[in-house]
Amino acid sequence: MDYDVIIVGASIAGCTAATAYGRAGLRVALLERHHNPQAHKTLCGHFILGGTHDVLQRLGFWQQMLDHGAAVTPRLGIWTDAGWIVQRPGNGVPPAISLRRSKLDPLLRDIAAATPGVDLLMGQKVVELVEDGVVTNTGTTLRARLVVGADGHRSTVAQLAGVPEDHAPNERFLFWAYYEGVRMSGPGDGQVWQLDPDVAVCVPAGDGLTLVGVFPAKARLAEFADDRLAAFDSFVARLPSGPSLAGARRTSNLVGTTDYPCVRRDPAPRPGVALIGDAATTSDPVPAVGCGWAFRSAAWLAEATAGPLRDGTDLGPALRRYRRAHRFIGRYDDIGRRDALAKPPNALQRTIRSAAVTDPWIARRLAAFGARAEPPSVLLNPVVAGRALLSYLRQNR
């Protein structure tokens, strides 16, 4: 074998897995179709939820991201029609971090390439899977016991391996821009507006910039058809306690997309093949989960399989362990797919939100859920539902 593991795609998931495998003493080929090491994803809001904090710390990425200008957001204020939900400082929910992909992707590539055992091979697009390996567009054949698809939502590896895809619709579209000098009026270090069904955000984006984004339901697409920027500005201007863009300077064009369906594939679809990041689960961008899932699924795969790859023992049980760990993402993705339908919130959601406005115990659980820091049961359980209902009844007596 040329390598212990071949990773296809040198972005968040691929670089994270390559770094972890390299540090575990394995020989890694990290293949990227782009030639330029500065290449990066543009369609990404790069707000990385607090649930990823521990993995980023453990890998040593957190400090390096800070050194490159990342912004940390400890507490988000959430606007609901029942009032603002504000987190208490020191409530134990880890902070979010944000670094633009133009900096993040090259940084992760540098870290991976500097890790002993990792060969970063730019300009190598995988076009074929063969027994124990891959063939690239340059005609190079590489072999390893494990091929990892870290190649994003259209995953070539998954297609070549014949992995079935499960698609679900996304009934919102989204646009955002970066600004200098935004004055936030809402509480917290950044804000989310749950306008039901529309959503909006205003969050620090690193390097002193603020990302202001809107996620309207598709019923409003026509409003954005002619003058997208004017529609965006008027949407932001109408946000309750929204950011003031009056004295701010917009430093980018509007970035966004009018359709981004959810896609899911088995993360361990066949012997010798694993999928991580978007290749396994491409979620709705609205809850900002994808980068975190990419870091975390890559770390879980490396943890599960590095030992058997090093020792030459059976990979099957390790891949099954990885699939089990990945269920954490699957459970949240089930919920995310329902939210992506842009339907009005159900009675339970309304009750919990309304209670969280006045009850810090429920607000903390809502924050841990939103940060994907604990399993969904941190919020969705009978005790929280009962307490929220009592609080709701007291408020509406």
Ligand X SMILES: Cc1cc2nc3c(=O)[nH]c(=O)nc-3n(C[C@H](O)[C@H](O)[C@H](O)COP(=O)(O)OP(=O)(O)OC[C@H]3O[C@@H](n4cnc5c(N)ncnc54)[C@H](O)[C@@H]3O)c2cc1C
* Among 274, 279, 277, 278, residue whose Cα is nearest residue 318: 274
Query: Does the protein bind ligand X through residue 290 (CB under 6 A)?
Result: yes
Nearer to ligand X, 45 or 50 (CB): 45
Q: How far is the CB of 162 from ligand X (least distance, A)?
A: 15
Region binding ligand X by CB under 6 A among candidate stretches 22-30, 224-232, 266-274, 275-283:
275-283
Nearer to ligand X, 197 or 292 (CB): 292
Region binding ligand X by CB under 6 A among candidate stretches 41-49, 214-222, 318-326, 384-392:
41-49
CB of 305 closer than 8 Å to CB of 312: no
Give the three-class secondary structure for 356: helix
Site residues for ligand X, 89-128, by CB under 6 A, read 125-126
State the number of CA atoms in the 13 A half-sphere of 258 facing the CB: 9
* Among 218, 223, 323, residue whose Cα is nearest residue 261: 218
What's the Cα-to-Cα distance from 22 to each of 296, 304, 313, 358, rounded to whole Å?
17, 14, 18, 48
**6, 7, 8, 205: which one contacts ligand X (CB under 6 A)?**
8
Nearer to ligand X, 41 or 387 (CB): 41
* Among 96, 364, 52, 90, residue whose Cα is nearest residue 204: 96
Query: Does the protein bind ligand X through residue 269 (CB under 6 A)?
Result: no
Buried b (16+ CB within 10 A) or exposed e, 369-393: bbbbbeeeebbbeeebbebbeebbe
Task: Tell me the site size for ligand X, rule CB under 6 A.
Answer: 37
Query: Does the protein bind ligand X through residue 301 (CB under 6 A)?
Result: no
Query: Does the protein bind ligand X through residue 51 (CB under 6 A)?
Result: no
Region binding ligand X by CB under 6 A among candidate stretches 40-48, 241-249, 303-311, 349-357:
40-48
Element spanning 166, H or E: strand 166-168
Region binding ligand X by CB under 6 A among candidate stretches 246-254, 265-273, 288-296, 309-317:
288-296
Query: Does the protein bind ligand X through residue 48 (CB under 6 A)?
Result: yes
Region binding ligand X by CB under 6 A among candidate stretches 80-88, 177-185, 282-290, 310-318:
282-290
CA 248 to CA 384: how far, in whole Å? 41
CA angle 229, 230, 236 (to 5 degrees): 90
Q: How far is the CB of 12 from ligand X (least distance, A)?
A: 4
Name the residues that contact ligand X, by CB under 6 A.
Answer: 8-14, 31-34, 41, 43-48, 125-126, 150-152, 156, 174, 257, 260, 277-279, 285, 288-292, 294
